[in-house]
Amino acid sequence: MDFELFNFDEDDDLLSTACIEATQGQLTAPQQTQPFDGVVEETVLPELQCSGEDTTHAKFASEGFVRSGFMLTRPEYAWRDASAGLTLTEFEFGLKQLLGHNNVQYLIGTSCMHIQHLWASVRQPLNTNDTYNHRQRRKEVTHMFYWMLLHITDEQWTFLRPSLESIRHLVNRTTEADTWKLIYFASSCKGNDCNAAAYHLLHGVLEWKLLDLCILYKFELCAPKVLLDDNAKPSSAFINQLTLLFEDLITCSLYLYGKKRPAELLYASPFPCTCIKECWLYVQLALQKWSLTTFAVATEQLTFWQLFNETITKFKSKLVRLFGYRSNGQYVGPRYERALADTAENVDALEQCTQQFLNGNPSEEQTRVYICLLMPTLLNWWRPRVAIPVLLWEHFHKRLNTSFYAAGSAPSNLAVACASGKAYVERYRALLKQEELTADANLSSYTLFTILLGKNLMRLLESSATRHQAQKLLGRIYTKFSAQKFLALNEMGIHHLIELFLALAICGDFEELAPKLSAKLLSIALDKIPAGRQIAVAKGHMALLILYAERRCEIGEYATKLLQQLTAINNDLSVSKVLADGLLEIFMHADDFRRGEHLLIDAWLPNYLETCTPVEQDRSLEALHLIFGKLQRNEALIESNSELLKALNALVLPFVKQQFAYGYSQWLPQLAADFSTQACTVPDTQTFQKLFNCFIEAPVACRQALPQYLNKVLQTERAALIEPNVVIHVWLKSLVQLTAVNEDVAQLTRYVSQLAEFRMMTDNLSPEELLQAKEPLCVFIAAVGKHYDACAAHHQRRFRIADNLNAYLRNFDKWLQVDLKQEKTEVAFRFYSFLAIVIYNCAHIVYTKSKVNCFFHVVMTRFVLPTNVQMGKAPDGKLAQVVHKIWPVLVQGIGKLNFKADPYISKTLTDLIQKWTPHFKISPNAKMVARPFVSCLQSDNAELSLFVFEKLTSLFLATQRRQADPNACLVVTIFQEVIESIDANNTSDDILTKRLETFMKATSLLMLEHIMMVDEVVPSRALLLDLFKRIVSSATYKRAAGLQQLLAEHLRLLTKKHLAYYTFFFFELLQRLAQFTPDTILQIMDFLLAEMRVVEQKRGAGEDNRMRGCLQKLQQTLKGAR
């Protein structure tokens, strides 16, 4: 059975709470003049008014016997007037008719007929035309009892007693077990408006038996002189009827019990309806009110529980709650004076019942329900005792290795060990602090027992009068343990043992219990049990150690013995994990680490940290940081904890150093800063500077670690020992490897902006400008370069700036992974952009001639022009994209150097063009491919642009054996995009003319020669002709006569160079050009004719017919073009 089906949901809880609060709100201290519920100006005779099936928070009807105070809190005469005007039967007999013997016999006979009619109607409906309904029959019988109780005298009682006995015998005979089986459930929310025969027979019988008891008490106990004969005892009839009423009420509950599943008993009322519960309460109140000394045994007054136990010894449930009601039916609870009386407890019977229950070998489900039913009685209603917990312990100690799994329940309800010692403490502390009266039946029976045991122990220790009983209880528990029994426990058994120990430790006197519990747990030697049990025992140890720490107890001896056992199993990783999981909780409660906490830092810890998972490692590192945090807040603790710091430096620091370089935990930078801050505070430890340099120069795998570490150190007093150039070095490195918006980098930026060295390097650059910049790196490098150029006359300052910048950039080649393929694309782009920015802004600082380890040389040989690129091998695709992006910036930066006079710079610039241009085919988009060269042409350095395009043309458009270079088409495509960018630009005409002039000066001569020398089928020939068409048709070319003269001059040079040797090729070129730029050809015609005569003269053969034929064709083409 799944007990979760019967858990209260939120609505039930709210409803229950609301009802309780509403009741309790009226429970002020009782006043003598307090009115009774249900009593109004006109007194009404009480009767049972049903409100349906009973619940634990249902209220009594105001018309009932309890709330009206009938015969208990209101005197008898208060009801006489209400009953004096009643009439019975269709003859309307009044009160005066009771004086006649025949009248009384008639009324008695009529009442018996009504009872028999109700009884028969329950068995089988009767087809009668009687004008009486079931309610009227019940009412007339009830009124007959009222008359006898309230109006007959002691003299009349002698004569009426036999008549009443006849009705009593009839009522008793009609309510035997078979009848109760038919009517016990006859409740109705309609109350007395219900017309069912079973309903009125049930409630009528209860009314009649209660009134009969009142009559017997009045005339037999209060007036014992009235006797039927000399041998009869006046109390026999009363006690018999009282016992019979108990039997009837219990019978109803037993029938109800048989219809309930075990789990339902936790939340269901034991009373079929509120009227039956009212009868129980009325009897309880009556037995307290009435003087029953007649039944006294050994001077002890007869009590409710004595009568109850005589009737049944196995029925124990929420009946004890009735002692929490006042005499007016208001519920108060376990603290009410009636519940605190000695007579309210029924300990012996419950102990006997518990023993019988356990002897019957109950199922797990039954045991759970039984303990849940016991707990409210033992923990809330009765005084704390030992007997029943001891009985339960005698039952459970033999079954510690059992799973206590209830068949049919959800597998998740199977008792399993908690994940850690902390989880154990949290779970069982929460369970033991729960205030709910009804326990959770989803818990195992053993867990319920430990809760009962712990709470009972807590109550025993609250009073000095019961503390000796607590020792008795503990003694009974300890006697069941031995070393052999501990070693025989399986994992489930160890789990149950931990449950028991935690319940005792949390609820008992911890300082007294802790040594005994830890000693018993240590007796389970780890090297004598399998691995699974080792883990289970370790969780128990950590749970106890956490409690030690919470209670501020010495843990040194306990920790030493535990670690000795851990060493005996070679610091097993699984067991070490359990210990590590509890460190944080233990250190959180350590005020000064003087209670032996430092002993937990032992050889097992680094061994565990190196092999555990990242999440597990984080928890342990957080615990270690907690130590430093507490020590830093109170410097006085440092000297007194030298042993602790030595252990940390010897065992943990080597691990932190290693993991700082290779790990990714967020706690590693924090711990590194902790160790650095505490350096030198303890003898025989490393100095701050040595330890700081160790961490700051470490090649970290997690790039976030370095700025985090530096920020944390800068927040301490050790910041004064850190050189500014180290801070700026880390800042620049972090800006490259991370981003400016990174929280740690932004914090470093704020710190750097306040440094005096920063102001010196940047000529007092505004901190706001740096902080508001999207890329502070660019702003800083540009400011440094600008300041350096401005200090041309101050050589010392320039030297200082150069030295500082080179110090900032030291080991920059280690900022990126050796294998670019393994590097993140965004980091690679940022790094290469950083290189280009430095060279562009600070070329004169980072380049030193003939110095192979200068920044510039390392950049070129390691990153921009590596060996594979120099050898013509295709670079990684990522590298090609990166260099394509930074190429124009690099070229412009190099252009600031003396690239004409310095052979190394010249060669480097040439290699950048020659080696990288073929690899710029990174996209089918020609505009993107040509972008670096367009940017180069648009720069202010015309000499650099001329050099670049000259090299580009000479390297890729030179022909050999009438064949073009493989990359000729790529270069021509680039040129086409360059020409388009000139016309598409919105700058001034002079600038556009100058750009086109630079381009043509560098390229047109070789392009014309390329067209002339290659075969017609070579693709680049057609592309170049198309390019010249674009040039001569562009607006810039047309309005600049100088450009036209430049093209004509290049044609003259070609004429002089190639006319004699490549006559046919040369005239073919001119004919092609004449088709779209005849004016240019006409400009050189005179020069061409003169050169032809010179060639013919040198040949000495007169006119050359072939040459003259080519000239005629050219002239015809010109005529056609014009």
| Tens of pLDDT, residues 120-160 | 888 777 666 566 788 888 888 888 888 888 888 888 888 88
Across the chain, mean pLDDT equals 83
Query: Do 285 and 337 contact (CB within 8 A), yes or no?
Result: no
Alpha-carbon distances of 450 from 371, 394, 419, 500, 697, rounded to whole Å: 11, 13, 19, 6, 57
Query: Do 336 and 378 contact (CB within 8 A), yes or no?
Result: no
pLDDT greater at residue 741 or residue 72: 741
For 300, the 3-state DSSP assignment is strand
- Of 270-274, 322-326, 419-423, 844-848, which range is least confident? 322-326
Question: Cα angle vertex 746, ends 742, 750, to 5°?
Answer: 175
Residue 25, pLDDT above cutoff 50 = no
Predicted confidence band of residue 12 (pLDDT cuts 50, 70, 90): very low
**Diameter of the chain by CA atoms?**
184
Dihedral angle of Cα 315, 317, 323, 329, to the nearest 10 degrees: -110
pLDDT for 678:
82
Which residue from 473, 477, 469 is spatially nearest to 496, judged by alpha carbons? 477
Q: Mean of the pLDDT values across residues 912-931?
A: 93
Which residue from 656, 559, 572 is spatially nearest to 606, judged by alpha carbons? 656
Query: Do 109 and 166 contact (CB within 8 A), yes or no?
Result: no
CA distance 564 to 818: 46
Cβ neighbours of 442 (radius 10 Å): 18
Helices marked H in 406-529: 421-433, 445-462, 467-478, 483-487, 491-507, 510-522
pLDDT for 808:
95
- Of 96-105, 634-643, 759-768, 889-898, which range is least confident? 634-643
Question: Cα angle vertex 991, ends 990, 992, to 5°?
Answer: 90
Residue 285, pLDDT above cutoff 90 = no
Cβ neighbours of 693 (radius 10 Å): 13
Query: Do 373 and 317 contact (CB within 8 A), yes or no?
Result: yes
Residue 32, pLDDT above cutoff 50 = no
Query: Do 547 and 505 contact (CB within 8 A), yes or no?
Result: yes
* 691 Cβ neighbours under 8 A, 6+ residues apart: 675, 676, 679
| Tens of pLDDT, residues 685-727 | 678 889 999 999 888 888 999 999 999 999 988 888 999 999 9
Residue 247, pLDDT above cutoff 50 = yes
DSSP annotation of 874 reads P
Residue 24, pLDDT above cutoff 70 = no
CA distance 858 to 837: 15
Residue 11, pLDDT above cutoff 80 = no
Q: Mean of the pLDDT values across residues 197-201?
A: 84
Predicted confidence band of residue 178 (pLDDT cuts 50, 70, 90): confident
Residue 974, pLDDT above cutoff 90 = yes
pLDDT for 813:
92
3-state secondary structure 640-654: HCHHHHHHHHHHHHH
Q: Provide the percentage of residues in the chain whose pLDDT is more than 90.
A: 37
Q: Which two tokens stand for residue 312?
A: 């049944």
Residue 2, pLDDT above cutoff 70 = no
Query: Do 830 and 741 contact (CB within 8 A), yes or no?
Result: no
Residue that has been written with the tokens 């006898």 in this structure: 148
Alpha-carbon distances of 182 from 133, 208, 516, rounded to whole Å: 20, 18, 59
CA distance 542 to 620: 14
Question: Cα angle vertex 323, ends 317, 324, to 5°?
Answer: 105
| Tens of pLDDT, residues 80-127 | 877 776 777 777 777 776 666 777 788 888 888 888 888 888 877 766
* 551 Cβ neighbours under 8 A, 6+ residues apart: 510, 511, 514
| Tens of pLDDT, residues 1017-1058 | 899 999 999 999 999 999 999 999 999 999 999 999 999 999
| Tens of pLDDT, residues 492-505 | 999 999 999 999 99
Cβ neighbours of 652 (radius 10 Å): 21
Query: Do 679 and 686 contact (CB within 8 A), yes or no?
Result: yes
3-state secondary structure 361-388: CCCHHHHHHHHHHHHHHHHHHCCCCCHH
pLDDT for 26:
33
